[in-house]
Amino acid sequence: MQLLMILAVVAVFAISERAPQVPVENAGRSVAIALAVTALVTLLAALIAARTVRRIRTRPTEYRRALSDFARWRSMHAAVWLASAAAVVYGVGWTQLVRCNWRLDGVPLVGELLILLPLVLPMTLSWAAFYRVETALAADPARGAKWLVESAKYAGFNLRHHLGLLLAPLLFLLAVEDVVHWALPWLAEQNKRAILYVPLLVAMAAVFPAMLGRIWRTEPLPPGPLRDRLVALCHRSGARFRDIRIWHSNSRIVNAAVAGFLPRWRYLFLTDGLLKRLDDEEIQAVVAHEIGHVRHGHLWLRVLAVVAPALLLMVADRVFPQLPQVFDGQLIVFGLPGAVQQAVLYMSAVVLYAVMVFGPYCRRLEHQADLFACRAELGIVAGPPETQRTTSGCAAERHVRYIAALEKLSALAGGARRHSTWLHPSTLRRVALLEAVHTQPARAVRIECRLRQVACFWVVASLMGLAVLLTGV
């Protein structure tokens, strides 16, 4: 879902930037069509949820099959949602309506938020409809005002979880761009926006983890044995954090995350579901994995894996300025305007890169963090002095202990062992690699060597692209 959300937001802005800058003739009809499409997408979600709830309540022994079907129906719903958003933004002329008819393009953020409305509103209402499935699984027959309030909270949680991480920095940059166009037009005309954007990007990267703590609704992990153990583990591993925080998800998420490039602004997030369902040793194993991301610089490497191709694309645009003109009239496919074809080309390139390069690379970084966690010294189990025992033990004990925690975490998260995501390999693959490395240590050395080579490539590509853009070569 994360990749889908990112691509959807990028697609909406890519289409809107290349939409004709002329008013819509019948604005009232366009608004009516947009509302009707939103209602249809929400109705489809409500029908899917009602069908799933009925199956769960009438045939409780088959709830796993019902959930499997529910996942497939939600995938179909996501496809309908994307198609409807594209139809409204481009086909109905929603971008023209916002920018030309209502003349809101010059108001910072207002125009961008309204352009995103055909994308965000149907999905938010659909999340509220899908809340019925969660109440059925929890055997909670929520009705009336309680259902309305709780479904609204559920939709808000999904909105923060899926879109908050993406929209907060994106909207900040768009707001800055609007202010620059309004207050410093010479900066935009002379193409010197990097003078302003580079310091802002650096500042945003520094403070974003603190913003994330508010977006996700978090609080500090209270003092106690668990916090003491985790702080000691961080110190022994050489990873510094500003704070360890509880991420409140109403126990919906069983996971941990780390955010922040600099130790002063770096946070470790543990969900309430993780703290509730795992014991202290298992939590330590999960935290060791997150520390592995920090020690290997994975946060920086993921950013470079995005920045490097973007810089190279900007360099190519400067070296071959005539390339976009091909799509302005010389190449016509399916009768689409050249600007739309250009947007489709860029989006196709983004999708291919995300699926075939960035995703596999991030999955390999997860394997590297797993290897670090298996090697981590987890310290002393809390208890009276006469009963304390070391949990560092030998490599075999750490290896078995981490795999057990990984298997339990996967089971609690509700995913199948064979199921992988865009950024995470399947539990089956993670465990298989750990077992293979345990019997063949040289394989871990080869993995580390290849990842270092890729990291060097990202750094060199980013520096070269930045040098070309700044020097104008």
Per-residue pLDDT, averaged over 366-394, amounts to: 61
Angle at 174 between CA 173 and CA 177, to 5 degrees: 90
Residue 257: pLDDT over 50 = yes
Both tokens of 228, joined, read 């003491």
Both tokens of 234, joined, read 């961080």
pLDDT at 141: 53
pLDDT at 233: 93
Pick from 22-26, 188-192, 218-222, 434-438 the range whose average pLDDT is largest: 218-222
pLDDT at 377: 56
Per-residue pLDDT, averaged over 172-193, amounts to: 67
pLDDT at 231: 94
pLDDT band at 305 (very low <50, low <70, confident <90, very high): very high
Per-residue pLDDT, averaged over 268-287, amounts to: 94
**CA 38 to chain CA mean position, Å:** 24
More confident residue, 110 or 224: 224
On the CB side of 444, how many CA atoms lie within 13 Å of its CA? 18
Residue 260: pLDDT over 70 = yes
Distance, in Å, from the CA atom of 306 to the CA atom of 462, rounded to the nearest integer, reads 10
Q: Minimal CA–CA distance to 303: which of 368, 373, 365?
A: 365
Burial class (CB in 10 A: 0-12, 13-18, 19+), 370: buried
Q: Minimal CA–CA distance to 284: which of 250, 259, 262, 256?
A: 256
Per-residue pLDDT, averaged over 467-471, amounts to: 77
Q: What average pLDDT does the structure give for the chain?
A: 82
Residue 50: pLDDT over 70 = yes
DSSP string, 315-367: HHHHH-TTGGGGGGTT--STT--HHHHHHHHHHHHHHHHIIIIIHHHHHHHHH
pLDDT band at 391 (very low <50, low <70, confident <90, very high): very low
Residue 25: pLDDT over 50 = yes
Lowest mean pLDDT, pick from 72-86, 242-256, 275-289, 413-427: 413-427
pLDDT at 382: 36
Per-residue pLDDT, averaged over 233-248, amounts to: 93
Measured from the Cβ of residue 127, the count of other Cβ atoms closer than 10 Å reads: 20
Q: Minimal CA–CA distance to 162: which of 293, 6, 396?
A: 6
Lowest mean pLDDT, pick from 35-44, 47-56, 345-354: 345-354
pLDDT at 388: 37
